[in-house]
Chain A
Amino acid sequence: MSVSRELLVNLFYTMAKTAATRIPVDVYDTLRKAREAEDNPLARAQLDAILKDIEIACRTSRPICQDTGTPYLFIELGDEFPLRSGVIEAAAEGIRRATREGYLRPNAVDPVYARNSGDNTGRYVPWVHVDLVPGDKLHVHLLMKGGGSEAPTTLVMSTPLKGWENLKKAVVEAIARAGPLPCPPLVVGVAVAAGGDMAVSLAKRALLRPIGVRNEDPRLAKFEEELLDALNKLGVGPHGFGGRTSVLDVKFDYAHRHPATFAIGIVTNCWAVRRVEAEVTSSGEARILSKHLLPEEGGGCRPGVPSIEG
């Protein structure tokens, strides 16, 4: 067996459909815990509506949220994997198919000619990030990133001496200022790097790490927890109705910086985290790796790994 275009189109179609309709299990479990811990009635009503929405979406294969996002692809491409640009072409085709079948809202708008492309692809869309790695595998994350939760996106070009101080201030202020707009409870990505584009890009990629999975570096693991606790004291709460849970998690990443710069990037994801992780070997075995809430026979939902649809 080898890697065919058809296999990849089917994989990306399944990933897009899964992202839109089936919440990752780590997100679902965290939202349920937040609901159990919540004693503010308005915040609880919001979390109840969110959980109900997730379960309806799962059972009926409807989008969790009507803003099905902009597609971001984070690819690790093995040296011996047989396809290169074909991967991206297949991803675009899988996304177009998921759009045609009503799993994705057409969200790609040409800003110059004021036209919606109608199929979620267009100039630089899907947005692709590729890392070249040893080995024979294609490893890919699809993140369908909602527009509303771009609101708090922040770039601070700090002086290095004030770097960490400015970072702490900027994170708290970004989440406080955005209030209900980005659909909290949020996942927050924070990064430090040399250039502004690097910091924001790393912060976005940090959103891929599942909730509850801490940074590998113990210092940063502790820092993530400090920021998480601090942000949950803000009182923004689910959709701005107060309560205990303003953010579901905080993820930190960094690149080596320039001696003269300390770029801080802050990015958020709404509660409706649409991310799917998959892997393809050079011999053409494709599988989804991430766990999602899947429909069960008899009408319920259960956690599981989606199989690839033809």
Chain B
Amino acid sequence: MAEYRLRTPLSDEDVERLRVGDIVYISGTLVTARDEAHKKVLELLEKGEKPPIDLRGLALYHCGPVAVRRPDGTWEIRAAGPTTSMRMESVEAEFIEKTGIKMVIGKGGMGPRTAEAMKKYKAVYAVFTGGAGALAANAIKRVIDVFWLDELGIPEALWVFEVQDFGPLVITIDTTGRNYYEERMNEVKKNAEKIIEELLKKPIP
């Protein structure tokens, strides 16, 4: 496992050298989107319209932050850890294809459709430590913009963050199509069978 420090916009070459298990710290522009924001971006593109920000080469973050508006109207991001990425599995492949994002950051991993799109369109999936909301907020230098706030509310809005050394991010899907969590979960499943067998030999309480 190697360690990298990258800056957005990311190129194909930037992400192609990353491998499962590598650790990355990213600086530049991070855009958040959860379920609703994914849906809205794809609806706009479907209608031939543009999303509020050009996403090419950027990193997409599955996150709903704790945000507080300061008296001067600017935002303070108080906590911003990742949300469960699997909820976006049904739309992420299309999102990668149509927006040109190069990195998806979240927690818990993603499925085969996303892994396939990442191989085809050159993108990677990275895990930020689930729950580490204060650590994440520490790396967010400022809020560049926020869209759809009134309509979707704070957690679901599309936030644009400027980040500095955001991480540690662990690559779990790379551009070769390897999916770390799939491999890991197969092992866990095998372990579970053995463990159950041993537990059943023990007396009941």
Interface of B is mostly: mixed
What's the Cα separation between A256 and B129 when bound, in Å? Answer: 40
Point out the residue from A65, A168, A173 that lies within 8 Å of B133, measured CB to CB.
A65
Given known A53-B132, A148-B84, contact A181–B108 (CB-CB < 8 A) = yes
CB-CB under 8 A from A49, the residues of chain B are 129, 132, 135, 168
B81→A67 contact, CB < 8 A: yes
Decide yes or no whether B37 CB sits under 8 A from chain A: no
CA distance A54 to B81 in the complex (A): 12
* Residue B109 is within 8 A (CB to CB) of chain A in the complex: yes
Partner of B79, one of A41, A62, A164: A62
Contacting residues, chain B, for A148 (C-beta < 8 A): 83-84, 107-108, 130
A97 CB, nearest partner CB in chain B, Å: 13
Could you tell me which residues of chain A, from 215 to 233, have a CB within 8 Å of some CB in chain B?
219-220, 222-223, 226-227, 230-231, 233
Q: Are B78 and A181 in contact (CB under 8 A)?
A: no
Say yes or no: A66 contacts B200, CB within 8 Å. Answer: no
Assess whether A106 is interfacial by the CB under 8 Å rule. Answer: yes
In the complex, whether B123 has a CB less than 8 A from a CB of chain A is: no
Instruction: Give Cα A66–Cα B187 distance, bound, in whole angstroms.
Output: 31
B89 within 8 A of A: no
Interface string of B169-205 (1 = CB under 8 A from A): 0100000000001001101110110011011101011
CB of B45 closer than 8 Å to a CB of A: no
- Contact string, A172-187, partner B, CB cutoff 8 A, digits 1/0? 1100100111010000
Min C-beta distance of A293 to chain B, whole Å: 12
Tell me the bound Cα distance from A197 to B195 in angstroms. 28
Pick the most buried of A50, A62, A222: most chain B CB atoms within 10 A of its CB: A62
The residue on A at minimum CB distance from B199 is: A168
Out of B23, B127, B192, which one reaches A173, CB within 8 Å?
Answer: B192
| Chain B proximity mask over A219-256: 1 for CB below 8 Å, otherwise 0 | 11011001100110111100111100000000000000
On chain A, the residues within 8 Å of B108 by CB distance are 148, 179-181, 240
Q: Is A28 part of the binding interface, using a Cβ–Cβ cutoff of 8 Å? A: no
Contact of A105 among B155, B198, B202 (CB under 8 A): B155
Give the residues in chain B near A272, CB-CB below 8 Å: 131
User: When the two chains form their complex, are residues A52 and B66 in contact, meaning their CB atoms are under 8 A apart?
Assistant: no
Indicate whether B103 reaches chain A with its CB closer than 8 angstroms.
no
Within 8 A of A (CB), among B137-174: 137-138, 153-155, 168, 170
Is A60 part of the binding interface, using a Cβ–Cβ cutoff of 8 Å? Answer: yes
The answer to whether A105 touches B154, judged by C-beta atoms less than 8 angstroms apart, is: yes
Residue of B nearest to A41 (CB): B1
Residue B134 is within 8 A (CB to CB) of chain A in the complex: yes
**Pair A151/B84 contact, Cβ less than 8 Å:** yes
B187 and A235 contact, CB distance less than 8 A: yes
Is B170's CB under 8 angstroms from A45's CB? Answer: yes
Q: Once bound together, how far apart are the Cα atoms of A241 and B64, in whole Å?
A: 23
Asked if B66 contacts A66 (CB within 8 A), the reply is yes
Does residue B104 face the partner (Cβ distance < 8 Å to A)? no
Q: Does A239 contact B79, Cβ atoms closer than 8 Å?
A: no
Contact between A67 and B135 (Cβ–Cβ < 8 Å)? no
- A165 & B81 in contact (Cβ 8 Å cutoff): no
B188 and A172 contact, CB distance less than 8 A: no
CB contact under 8 A between A179 and B129, given known A42-B170, A52-B135, A168-B199: no
Q: A56-B135, A183-B131 are in contact. Are A234 and B188 (CB under 8 A)?
A: yes
Q: Which single member of A103, A116, A240, A271 contacts B153 (CB below 8 Å)?
A: A116
Contact yes or no, B64 A105, CB < 8 A: yes
Cβ-based interface call for A102 (8 A): yes
Q: How far is the CA of A116 from the CA of B156 in the complex (A)?
A: 10
Besides A60-B134, A67-B81, A67-B133, 15 other CB < 8 A contacts? A53-B133, A63-B66, A63-B78, A102-B68, A116-B153, A146-B131, A151-B84, A179-B109, A179-B185, A226-B199, A227-B199, A234-B188, A235-B187, A240-B108, A241-B184
**Interface CB pairs A-B, < 8 A, 28:** A45-B168, A45-B170, A46-B129, A49-B168, A57-B79, A62-B66, A62-B79, A63-B78, A66-B80, A102-B68, A104-B66, A105-B154, A107-B155, A148-B130, A169-B200, A172-B192, A173-B192, A179-B184, A180-B107, A180-B108, A181-B107, A227-B199, A230-B195, A233-B191, A234-B192, A239-B129, A240-B181, A241-B184
